[in-house]
């Protein structure tokens, strides 16, 4: 890895950037400081994105579809229990709308 460091002034302060070298099979090593700050572990999944001339890596969590569905249904059941004045359809519509807003917000980052 190249030891040269660059500093970029950002709104939230100064971030130290390390240069990395592309190795065999196009692998790169994520610097320790970044791995620790993001709590990355071996086997974690990163989403790759190309923006202009930049490679963006975003940590992602994979969840089993059945497990996610069961967790969502448990949350919906609890919401239904606490909001009996609303029909199940109204609660589900509101929950799905809230989920969609969060997805749009996250994808715009």
The b/e string for 35-55 (b: 16+ C-beta within 10 A; e otherwise) is eeeeeeeeeeeeeeeeeeeee
Q: What is the CATH number of the domain that holds 20?
A: 2.10.260.10
- Provide the pLDDT for residue 2: 40
- Provide the pLDDT for residue 12: 53
Clarify whether residues 11 and 51 are in a common domain. Answer: yes
- Provide the pLDDT for residue 109: 62
- Provide the pLDDT for residue 6: 44
The residues near 3 (Cβ < 8 Å, ≥ 6 apart) are 18
Contact between 58 and 77 under an 8 Å Cβ cutoff? The reply is no
Clarify whether residues 78 and 47 are in a common domain. Answer: no
* pTM, full prediction: 0.49
Clarify whether residues 38 and 77 are in a common domain. Answer: no
Q: Which residues of the chain have pLDDT under 50?
A: 1-11
Clarify whether residues 56 and 9 are in a common domain. Answer: yes
């Amino acid at each position: 890895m190249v030891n040269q460091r660059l500093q970029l002034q950002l709104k939230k302060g100064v971030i130290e950037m390390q240069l990395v070298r592309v190795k065999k099979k196009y692998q790169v090593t994520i610097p320790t400081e970044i791995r620790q700050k993001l709590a990355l572990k071996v086997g974690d999944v990163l989403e790759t994105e190309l923006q202009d001339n930049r490679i963006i890596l975003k940590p992602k969590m994979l969840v089993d579809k059945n497990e996610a569905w069961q967790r969502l249904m448990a949350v919906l059941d609890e919401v239904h229990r606490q909001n009996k004045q609303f029909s199940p359809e109204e609660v589900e519509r509101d929950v799905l709308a809230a989920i969609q807003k969060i997805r749009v917000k996250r994808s715009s980052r």
